[in-house]
Amino acid sequence: MKFDIFYQLPAAETQRPADRYRELIEEAVEADRLGYDTVWLAEIHFLPRFCTMPVPMMLLAAIAERTRRIKLGQAVNLLPLHHPTRLAEEAATLDVLSNGRLAFGAGRGGFPINYHGFGVDIHESREIFTEMLEFVKQAWTQDKLTFHGRYFDVENLPVTPKPIQQPYPTIRIAANTPETFKFAGENGYPIFAGGPVNPLNVLGERLAIYQDALKAAGGQTPDDWFAALLMVFAGRDRATVRSTIESSLRNYFESVSDIVRPETLSASAAEFEKVRARLREMKYETIDSLMGVFGDPAYCIDRIAELKERFGFTRLVCWVETGGLSGHRNVIDSMRLFADRVMPHFA
């Protein structure tokens, strides 16, 4: 099993983007040294408290220059917010710069403000996403791209550079809704899933949708098919971990409650207010049981082994820096302890 590290990179009012970027790069360099397989960076726009990283590709390019082994993951490119020609060029350039270390994540995102800010109709996002994904793959593999779609139309276009990885980097889909689990299964894509969007009490049902769709399409389970995203923090003991991360977790869920909208949830006003209240009042115990691996190394080993047996994931994406307030040094210490004492048990 492989172990990765994930960043959404929120920023409190007291935190500057420059400092957040510097800490992230330092932590990615340390992850490279410690043996984590991939560093995944999210793309979210116009919500700085929730994520101050709208252009993760630039940070990944900076990380590429300071690392030699770790893969550079986009978790994920919000495809409908890009032009596919530019995205194909930029992603391939990162693959070239890093000597073939790009891991290409694709998704749509669920925050309407992302779409409003770019003038894209969120109601067309699924159709745009599907067309863009095919466009980018063809741009990477055709010497001169000809593509005629509903949204994009080009003729005999020499898109360069081509990725070093052939025919192209692994594409992994962020599966958040039942429809996306079905799409990914039908098309045989590896997936991301888990975290607050698909906590452990619903994850099994969603994975069954994927597997049923894969079987119905006559496909085989792809290698490295499931990257499970969980909040992870290793420390001396469970009480110490809680004292280190609880306020940061609270900051995360409070920031989510500030930005969700009824249209995001397809909910009535009354249902929406209930959801916001649940987010604001999210208990540490709930996060621990449904989304987290929090504790000493022995506890983490047992917890991961049980979840791996239950869900069959092939890699664990460790969301160590959730909420942004745990502290740079504490994050580094947790990463080191986890790499030294937990990861070797799953080699």
Residue 274 scores a pLDDT above 80: no
Residue 267 scores a pLDDT above 60: no
Residue 77 scores a pLDDT above 70: yes
Task: Look up the CATH superfamily of 2-244+290-346.
Answer: Luciferase-like domain (3.20.20.30)
Q: What is the pLDDT of residue 329?
A: 98
Q: What is the pLDDT of residue 140?
A: 98
Partners of residue 77 on adjacent β-strands: 106
Asked which of 43-57, 204-218, 249-263, 312-326 is least confident by mean pLDDT, the reply is 249-263
Going by pLDDT thresholds of 50, 70 and 90, the confidence category of residue 261 is low
Q: What is the pLDDT of residue 264?
A: 57
pLDDT tens sequence across 330-342: 999 999 999 999 9
Share of the chain above pLDDT 90, in %: 89
d(CA 297, CA 313): 20
Mean pLDDT of 85-92: 98
- Classify residue 144 by burial, with Cβ atoms within 10 Å: 0-12, 13-18, 19+: exposed
Mean pLDDT of 289-310: 98
Mean pLDDT of 5-32: 95
Mean pLDDT of 233-240: 98
Asked which of 4-13, 183-192, 204-213, 332-341 is least confident by mean pLDDT, the reply is 4-13
pLDDT tens sequence across 143-158: 999 999 999 999 999 9
Q: What is the pLDDT of residue 328?
A: 97
Share of the chain above pLDDT 70, in %: 97
Asked which of 243-247, 269-273, 325-329 is least confident by mean pLDDT, the reply is 269-273
Q: What is the pLDDT of residue 280?
A: 87
**Hey, what are 170's tokens?**
């692994």
Residues 6+ apart with CB under 8 A from 191: 172, 173, 174, 175, 181, 184, 210, 225, 226, 227
Residue 192 φ then ψ, to 5°: -100, 145
Residue 46 scores a pLDDT above 80: yes
d(CA 94, CA 306): 36
Q: How far is CA 305 from the centre of its chain?
A: 22
Q: Are 229 and 6 in contact (CB under 8 A)?
A: yes
Residue 272 φ then ψ, to 5°: -60, -45
Average pLDDT taken over every residue of the chain: 95
Q: What is the pLDDT of residue 305?
A: 98
**Alpha helix positions (H), 142-187:** 178-187
**Domains of the chain by residue range:** 2-244+290-346
Q: What is the pLDDT of residue 277?
A: 82
Segment (H or E) for 6: strand 2-7
d(CA 226, CA 181): 11
d(CA 203, CA 256): 20
Q: What is the pLDDT of residue 256?
A: 87
Residue 266 scores a pLDDT above 80: no
d(CA 47, CA 259): 8
Mean pLDDT of 230-242: 98
Q: What is the pLDDT of residue 12?
A: 86
| Rounded CA Rg of the chain | 20
d(CA 231, CA 295): 11
Residue 96 φ then ψ, to 5°: -70, -50
